[in-house]
Chains A and B, each alone.
Chain A
Amino acid sequence: MSPAVEWKQASIAVGRDEAVHCSGPWTLQHLPDLERVLATVSWPRLRGLIFDAGHITAMDTGGAVVLHRTVAQLRRQGREVSVEGLRAEFAELLRVVSANWDRVEAAPATKPNWVEQLSRWIVERARHAVAALGFIGESTVGVWQALKRPSLIRWRALLRSLELDGFNALPITGLLAFLIGVVISYQAAEQLRKFGTNIFVVDLVGISLLREISPLIVAILIAGRSGSTYAAQIGTMKVTEELDAVQTLGLSPTQLLVLPRVLALMLALPLLMVFADGLGVFGGMLVASNQLNVSFTEFVSRFEEAVAMRHFLIGIGKAPFFAIIIVLVGCYQGFQIRGGVDDVGRHTTTSVVQSIFLVIVFDALCSIVLRWWDL
């Protein structure tokens, strides 16, 4: 093999003279091969080793790291190693690498053990719980102050929020409620026909929709639609220091951002629910007349006697609480965002998951409590 061919590969080998011959381009590209060769080298049993590095044709930081590591390892085994013949510019690189390497090694290894990790986790959880409580308190105070002095309310922001979170959500909530009414009615039709009790489709559709399903559907939809927006908007404002700017102007972010949204959604959510109730029942009505021969007039007259007012009121009555949950969770997650933009995505997702979860938990609690009271 001619030397010219040999030097296209980075290589390291122990010669007959027991010197270590390094050659070729010691650059990133060739290092994987070099590492493979290096693993098979059997070092001579000498106390003093000489690295003949004169044939190294190119060297970058990676190559210098490999050379430095190899030499350092041999020195740790108690040998004396000298590197000879290295070109001046490569020698300088090697010098800089070993100087920096000392700083790498000087840094203490910091790998926390499991006790520390667990404690950190617990402290972090506790911090979140306290922060959430603090946020709820702050918002309550904000609402209280605004009720005492309605001039504190930002009416423009409130109206804007009413439009974005309420009015613009009308088509999607309406469509969804209509479809759900259709589905319930269809499912009921199968069963009711068997017993010839077709007319009870009214009870089923009316009570389940008004009392449980349409409030839940609307709340879940708004949590996904608006809750995520709150978190993302406030988070982005936090990242871009807009919130800090707001505070240095002497304004309160709670009053500016949270309060109008809470009030707007407390107003919008019940209205959306009424709208959803109407369209849902209408969907049920269509299927009833089509599948069960219950005409519109029969449906409506049965509706009046079968579906008590309280079902409607219970459904609507949950709305303000759902609204508070959705806005507070969304805004809280927004305020929790620190620094990075990827945090915005994470907290937005969390806000949706948490608010849907809390809405359903609250709804379940309501069901239980109302059962006790025989409502």
Chain B
Amino acid sequence: MPAITQTEAPVIEVSHVSTRFGEAVVHEDVSFTIHRGEVFAIAGGNGCGKSTLMREIVGLQAPTSGSTRLFGMDSRSLHDGQPQEIHRRFGVMFQQGALFSSLTLAENVAAPLKEHTKLGLDLIHDIVALKIVSVGLPADSAGKYPNELSGGMRRRAALARAIVMDPELLFLDEPTAGLDPIIAAGFDELVLQLRALLGLTVVMVTHDLDSLWRISDRVAVLGNGAILGIGTMQELSRSNDPVIREYFHGPRGRAVREQAVKRETHLEG
């Protein structure tokens, strides 16, 4: 087994990444690092290249220049068709769920276990059943096919599949977009619980301001192809950058912020 370095090297390093699609510049010289145990959010308006950046980090797309490293390994060398040690260490939840439509929910969740471990079917069944209820899906939905599930259920099933291996690192692409506020809040709770239990590092692409306030440790705001600001929500909300101000102090941002501040003062007092 290759030695896994135990030093506190950053989990993810993005250095000088530029991305262009033809003439359109998506990113220009973007750099940041993400450390173990963080809930790191990538925020920004629609079409500012948040998801593209995440795809580059997990090696699904190559940046035009610059490099991204995952657990110290160049992302571009990640997918050569062979399941590798590193694939056990991170899980990805895609925006549309990306469940395998020909498999049942349980088979979907079981897929990583079957590919990466030599566990008995009996134990796999138990772990899968447990993960399904732990993301808040009813236990009897295990035999259903993805097209029989509602959008919110599909999203949670995708989360169950992403965490079934107990990865160290979890990527979430717009996890709460299109969910009702109760389920979205539940999702946030779930992410926090997973981090507490398993010591997860979470990288989350989102523009859900509620989520940003509730669970993110640090946020990088993308805009105009660059990182406009990076830091905690408190720090960012004091930023003078016009785009960030618009983002956090627009009518919606203000309401959420007031609530978040209220919540904190309530806790302190």
Q: Which of B111-158 contact A (CB under 8 A)?
A: 113, 116-120, 123, 126-127, 129-134, 138-140, 143, 145-148
Q: Is the CB of A61 within 8 A of B130?
A: yes
B39 contacts partner chain A, Cβ-Cβ < 8 Å = no
Partner of A340, one of B117, B146, B165: B146
Contact status A110-B140, CB under 8 Å: yes
Interface positions of A from 1 to 53, Cβ below 8 Å from B: 27-29, 31-32, 35
* Inter-subunit contact A62/B127 (CB<8 Å): yes
- By DSSP majority rule, is chain B's interface helix, strand, loop, or mixed? helix
Residues of A within 8 A of B140 (CB): 107-108, 110
Q: Is B101 an interface residue (CB 8 A)?
A: yes
Contact A28 B197, beta carbon cutoff 8 Å: no
Measured as residues with beta carbon below 8 angstroms from the partner, the interface class of chain A is: 20 to 34
Kindly state whether residue A131 has any CB partner on chain B within 8 Å. no
Interchain nearest-CB distance for B155 vs A (Å)? 15
Q: Which of B119, B120, B134, B147 contacts A28 (CB 8 A)?
A: B119
Beta-carbon contact of A341 and B101 below 8 Å? yes
- Looking across the interface, which residue of chain A has its beta carbon closest to that of B165? A28
Shortest CB–CB separation between residue A61 and chain B, in angstroms?
A: 5
Asked if A29 contacts B117 (CB within 8 A), the reply is yes
Bound CA span A103–B129, Å:
10
Complex Cα gap A64–B113 (Å): 16
Chain A, residue nearest B148 (CB): A339
- Also in contact, A339 and B117, with CB within 8 A (given A96-B197, A107-B138): no
Q: Report whether A92 and B197 are in contact in the complex, using a CB–CB cutoff of 8 Å.
A: yes
Q: What are the interface flags for A329-346 relative to B under an 8 Å C-beta threshold, 1 for contact and 0 otherwise?
A: 000000000111111000
Decide if A375 is an interface residue (CB 8 Å cutoff): no
| B75-97 at interface with A (beta carbon < 8 Å) | 88
Bound complex: CA of A65 vs CA of B117, how far in Å? 15
B7 CB-CB contact with A under 8 Å: no
In this complex, the member of B117, B131, B132, B146 whose beta carbon has the largest number of chain A beta carbons within 10 angstroms is B117
Alpha-carbon gap, A27 to B196, bound state (A): 17
Measured between alpha carbons, how far is A338 from B145 in the docked complex, in Å?
12
Other than the given A96-B197, A104-B139, 6 more pairs (CB < 8 A) read A31-B123, A61-B130, A93-B197, A107-B140, A110-B140, A342-B101
Residues of B within 8 A of A (CB): 88, 101-102, 113, 116-120, 123, 126-127, 129-134, 138-140, 143, 145-148, 165-166, 193, 196-198
Which residues of A pack against B, CB within 8 Å?
Answer: 27-29, 31-32, 35, 60-62, 65-66, 69, 89, 92-93, 96-97, 100-101, 103-104, 106-108, 110, 338-343
5 A-B residue contacts at CB 8 Å?
A: A31-B119, A66-B123, A93-B198, A106-B139, A342-B102
